[in-house]
Structure 1
C-alpha cells in the first residue's frame, strides 16, 4: 500500500493572498545599499537579545535552501535538482508565513527584468520550475510566503531603499546558494543515481550529502517512498544579502523518507512510484559511463546548462517527457546508429529526424558523451526551445542557437 504520509510539498504549499503590483513598464529598480553589519552574531546561536534585525535574522533564524526532484511530470533538467525556495524557520522548527501583504508582488519577472538581472531570470527559467508549468505564480508564492518573513530583507534595512529591490536580493541569494549545492552530482559521486529498480537507505543519502557540508545532516522528503525533496539548513552570520551562511543541522525532525527502500526515480516520466517488488523492472542496457551504447536520453545543452532533451521525433522540447533512444553499434565500421519509438534516426534535409519514413539511419560518432553529426560537426536550432514550443535540430552551426546533444544512459 502506498504511504499515506503527505509529501513535503503538500505540507508546505498553502494558499496565499494579499497581492500588490508595483512596477509599471517604465519603472526601474535602481537599488540602495543593504545595512553594513559589524561583528554580527550567528542566528539561532545568540546568547543575548539582538535588536538590530537588519544584521540578524529573527525570528526566522534558520534559513533553508529547498530543492525538488520532480519526475511526474518531469520538471527541469534530467541531471539536476530544481529550486523550491529559501525559507526562514524559527530556531525551534516552527515558521512564520506571508508576513507582509503589502509586498506580496504579482510581477516577479518584471521586477527582475527592471533590475537588469537577465542572467538571473534565465537561470530561474531553467532551474526554478513549477511542476504545473506556472513559474511566475510559483515565484510569487515563494516570495510572498517566505521572502517577506526574512527580517534582513525588510525595506528599512536599505539606505535609500527602492521599491522591490529586496525581491531581487531574495531570488539572487537563493540561486547563489543553489549553485553551491549540486545535489545530483553529490549523490552520483556516492553511487546514488536515478533508477527504476534500485533503492537506497536514508543513511546512504545523508552520508553522501553531509560529506560536503561539514558533517551536518539535511531534511529528506519522500512521496510514496520516492525521494523528491532535499532541504539544506543554515544559520546566518549577518544579513541574507551579505552575511555568511553556515551549514547547520535541521531545526527539528522533518524528514518523511523511510529508513530503507527509498526510490530515486529517473526523470523519464515513464515510471510511477510503487511499493510492489514483484514483476519485472527495467534494467540498464549499457555500462554506467559508456556513451551511446544501449538505451539512453539525448539531453540538450544550451548556454552551458542542460535545457530539455530530444523527443521521439527528434525535435527539441523542454517541458515534455524525454524519449528513450537506442544506440546500435555500426557493424560495418566506426560509429553507431540511433532509433526511437518512431523509427530510425537520420539527418534529413539538414535536420535530425526520427520516424517510419527514415529508410536509412545516419551513422553518428561521439566525442565522449557528445553526439557528433554525420558530417562531423555540431548542432543548432532556430531558437532556444521553451514552454510547449518544439524546435527542429539541425546539423552544423548555421542556425541562431548553437547547442550540444549529450547522451545519458538509462
Structure 2
C-alpha cells in the first residue's frame, strides 16, 4: 500500500529549521545503519524516485507517528504529563502494516535495555511509558512486536555486527527521545488549556496550541466516544534517513483524523497521579459532571463502572478481555437478588457459557462474592487465551484447554 505518488511539501519544510527535532541526532554510540548524505537525501513519502536502500529510507512505513496517552479516571502516569503509547510506521496513504516479523518479537524489553546499558531510558520509561494493567513491559513488547518490526531501517541486515535485540533497544531509545521533545501537557498549558472538571475545550483550540509550537502541524486528538474526554494524541513525521538517527520532519496528518467532537471536549485532571509527578505542584479539583467517582474496586456492583480483570486489563464493550485499550463503561442495575449488566453494545449475559454483551443477548442476573463478579455462586471465569499479547479474548464460565483463570472486580465511576 506504499504510495509512490508525490505531494507538495515545501510548506512542510519551511519551518524545519525552527524545530529541535530536525537535526541529525548526536547520540553516542550512533545507532542503526550508517547513512551517507546521498542515502539520506530523500524524505520518506516524498521520494522523487523509487529507493532501493530501505536501511536509510523508511518504506512502506514512511509516515511515522509518535503517539501519547492521557489516562485519567483511572489515572496512569504523572499528574502533569502525558505518557507514551508508541512509535508507529504508517504507510504514506494512511494504511499500515503490523506484526511483521515474529522471529524478532521481544518477550522481555527490560532485559534488553539492561543488556545494552540503556538504564537511563528504562528508568524514564517506568514513569512515562505506562500500561493500564500494571504490565508495562507487556506494553513495550506489544509496541515493538506490532510496530517496530515493521520499520524497514530496524532490520538486522541494516546494522554492522548486529547483536540480537539491538534494534529493540534502539526503538525504545528513539521513542523516548521523540517524546521528550513533545511535552503535550506543557504545549496545551501554554495555550491556557489545563485539565479541568468544569471547563471543556474545542478541537480548534487544541490544534491551534500544537500548531503554535515547533511541530507546526496539526496533530490527531482522540477522545472517548462516550464521555468526550481526551485520551490520546498522534504527532505525524516524515524522515530523512533511518528511523534511528535520521532527521524527523513534522508532517501533515495522513490517514485517520481526530475523532474528538468540535466542541465540548473534556480534559479531565489526574486527581491522584499515577507514578509520580514531574513537578511539585499540587492541584485541587472538583468532581466532574459526567463521571463522578463513587467507589473503588471491590465495592458492590451498582451504577456505572469498569469490569477489571485480575490478570490485567478489563472487559470491553462486547464482553471480551482486553489489555491494550480503553475500558468499557458498564451499567449495573439491581434485579432480584443480584444485578444485571449492560454495555454500549447492549445487555450482558452468559450465552453458551460465554460472557457476551450485545443486541439480542438476554440479561443474566449476576451476584457478587467478596467483591468479585459471580455467576451461579462461582467467581471464576476463564479467558480463551491471554489478552496480554494484545488479543481480545472471549471470557467463559467453564474451564478448558489453554484457558486462563480470571476474576473480575468492579471499579465504580
TM-score (norm: length of structure 1): 0.58
- In 1, Cα distance between equivalents of 2:265 and 2:256: 18
What stretches of structure 1 of length at least 5 have no aligned partner? Answer: 1-29, 270-296, 311-410
Partner of 2:118: 117
- In 1, Cα distance between equivalents of 2:163 and 2:109: 15
The answer to whether structure 1 residue 256 and structure 2 residue 255 are counterparts is: no
- Equivalent pair of 1:31/1:165 in contact (CA under 8 Å): no
The answer to whether structure 1 residue 238 and structure 2 residue 241 are counterparts is: yes
Partner of 1:101: 102
TM-score (norm: length of structure 2): 0.58
Partner of 2:342: none
What stretches of structure 2 of length at least 5 have no aligned partner? Answer: 1-28, 284-413
The answer to whether structure 1 residue 36 and structure 2 residue 39 are counterparts is: no
- In 2, Cα distance between equivalents of 1:188 and 1:145: 32
Partner of 1:145: 146
CA apart distance, 1:47: 1.7
- Equivalent pair of 2:76/2:132 in contact (CA under 8 Å): yes
For residues 309 and 99 of structure 1, do their structure 2 counterparts lie closer, same or farther at Cα, with a shift above 3 Å needed? Answer: farther
- In 1, Cα distance between equivalents of 2:137 and 2:281: 19
- Equivalent pair of 1:61/1:88 in contact (CA under 8 Å): yes
- Equivalent pair of 1:300/1:308 in contact (CA under 8 Å): no
- Equivalent pair of 1:43/1:57 in contact (CA under 8 Å): yes
Q: Secondary structure at the match of 1:34?
A: coil
- Equivalent pair of 1:235/1:248 in contact (CA under 8 Å): yes
- Equivalent pair of 2:77/2:130 in contact (CA under 8 Å): yes
| 1:214-268 CA-partner distances (Å, limit 9, x unpaired) | 5311001000311110000000000011100000011124211000110100012
- In 2, Cα distance between equivalents of 1:72 and 1:308: 20
Moved over 4 A (4+): 30-33, 297-301, 306-310
- In 2, Cα distance between equivalents of 1:33 and 1:179: 20
Q: How does 1:376-395 map to 2 (within 5 A)?
A: none
Q: Secondary structure at the match of 1:38?
A: coil
- In 1, Cα distance between equivalents of 2:204 and 2:141: 35
- In 1, Cα distance between equivalents of 2:240 and 2:43: 4
Partner of 1:205: 206
Aligned residues, how many? Answer: 251
- In 2, Cα distance between equivalents of 1:236 and 1:248: 9
Partner of 1:184: 185
- In 2, Cα distance between equivalents of 1:31 and 1:260: 45
